[in-house]
A and B are shown apart, each in its own frame.
Chain A
């Protein structure tokens, strides 16, 4: 900040600033707006954004701590009289949960046996990274959160983010120690989903409200109020089966989803580093395989004619494989 002693002009007319500088800043702002749109954002600007968030993340964490403490105190203070009743209800729930825990353990053992039988490698999808929400800015253009974990802990763009109730969103910017999560309610959020009961497919589209809408629902799709909506995994970005919410028909006849994740503040979340399902690569075309073998008139191929063909196809395969390797 530059200071100068007040001049006579300052005293008469107030403080003035350079109009050229102001005009330059306005032009820079307009250029940034044009080039920092989500669909055309260059990687350099993305890097700047994630670096700045990384730098301010410790400060944001500092500001969030007292609020986290207040969040814990508030409900306790408000519900003092209901605690005993709640405690009894929780005991009942716990008893019920014991049955489900036994069932889950049995199923887990069964699944492990199936995975071993099928030789599946699912270790990557089992890991999860816990993180606190550092910032919850209420900007009118983007519905996002900043969380306190980044690439250092294995998080990458596109990874799903869940709280204890369900899917919150996905990672869209990854810094070293922080990440930005695009919420399901954001205008730019598109998630392919299915109804758990009937496998009816749709796209969940954020609209900056608490109830994102279901679009591209088939004309005869079997969808009812209260149907559980989960991710379909059709996009290959999010895994299948992550809980999202329940379907609800609004007054205009539009399907919307009441999000599970709204049942509690988005304070602590888990990020599930997810191995994306890539489309299968085409088999390499072996040209010589289709060529008729040159042999004697009776049509039987000689050993000498087969040998070069096999050699060529082996070379083709090797070169294709090399070409695919980054």
Chain B
């Protein structure tokens, strides 16, 4: 994980991207209440696809984002298309338009991520309200969005390569 990103074969990283997305969906759906804890769960799939679309944009074409959103809809039991639409639109608006494998600063990426979460939450709320035939509960969505924003730096610091150092953590 510490080597230069350009020297790595892209297919290996693609497998790693696929595994991390599947893991994020599994953890997101896992029965958190079983561990005697709260049910607070950040949108891990969104964090994962945003990080990959920031560091390796080519790995996250729109149809991959669409499929991740669709899987989240299916696993949560909500109407299909809600999170798929939210993720595709939010990530297409706020996508990092730089070359593949470039190093990033975590600060600007985090601010961009806040935008992604805000847009995704707003679209999901509108689409969910349309699908369920009434205004969806806004509070759990805001709590989930806040948890997602706060969780991002923890994961981002471990995965996003800093611009100042080529040998730091991250891919």
Contact = CB atoms under 8 A, between A and B. Distances in A.
The size bracket of the interface on B is: 35 or more
B30 A71 contact: no
B48 to A, nearest CB: 15
B84 A36 contact: no
Interface size range of chain A in the complex = 35 or more
A141 interface: yes
B85 interface: yes
B81 A28 contact: yes
A29 B127 CA distance: 10
Interface stretch (A6-14, A100-108, A242-250, A303-311): A6-14
Contact of A3 (B41, B58, B134, B141): B58
B58 A141 contact: no
Contact of B97 (A6, A13, A36, A145): A13
Contacts of B141: 140
A26 B88 contact: yes
A136 B34 contact: yes
Given A10-B100, A29-B85, A265-B36, A49 B29 contact: no
A11 B99 contact: yes
Given A14-B97, A63-B26, A208-B140, A267 B75 contact: no
A25 B62 contact: yes
Interface string B115-132: 000000000110110111
Nearest to B40: A138
B109 interface: no
A63 B136 contact: no
B149 to A, nearest CB: 16
Contacts of A146: 29, 75, 77
A138 B124 CA distance: 14
Interface in A237-282: 265-267
B95 to A, nearest CB: 8
A60 B41 CA distance: 16
Contacts of B5: none
A150 to B, nearest CB: 15
A98 interface: no
Main DSSP-derived SS at the B contact region: helix
B29 A60 contact: yes
Given A49-B80, A71-B35, A141-B131, A63 B30 contact: yes
A64 B31 contact: yes
B96 interface: yes
A265 B31 CA distance: 9
A174 interface: no
Nearest to A74: B36
A267 B131 CA distance: 29
A30 interface: yes
B37 to A, nearest CB: 8
Interface string A64-91: 1001101100110000000000000000
A188 B77 CA distance: 12
Given A25-B88, A141-B79, 20 more contacts: A1-B61, A25-B62, A26-B88, A30-B85, A32-B81, A37-B79, A45-B80, A53-B74, A62-B26, A64-B31, A67-B30, A70-B34, A136-B32, A136-B39, A138-B144, A140-B136, A142-B78, A144-B77, A187-B134, A267-B31
Interface of B: 10-11, 14, 18, 22, 26-36, 39-41, 57-59, 61-64, 66, 69-71, 74-82, 84-85, 88-89, 92, 96-100, 124-125, 127-128, 130-134, 136-137, 140-141, 144
Interface of A: 1-4, 6, 10-11, 13-18, 21-22, 25-26, 28-34, 36-39, 45, 49, 52-53, 56, 59-60, 62-64, 67-68, 70-71, 74-75, 133-142, 144-146, 173, 180, 182, 187-188, 208, 265-267
> Lowest 3 CB-CB distances: which A-B pairs, in order?
A32-B81, A139-B76, A136-B31
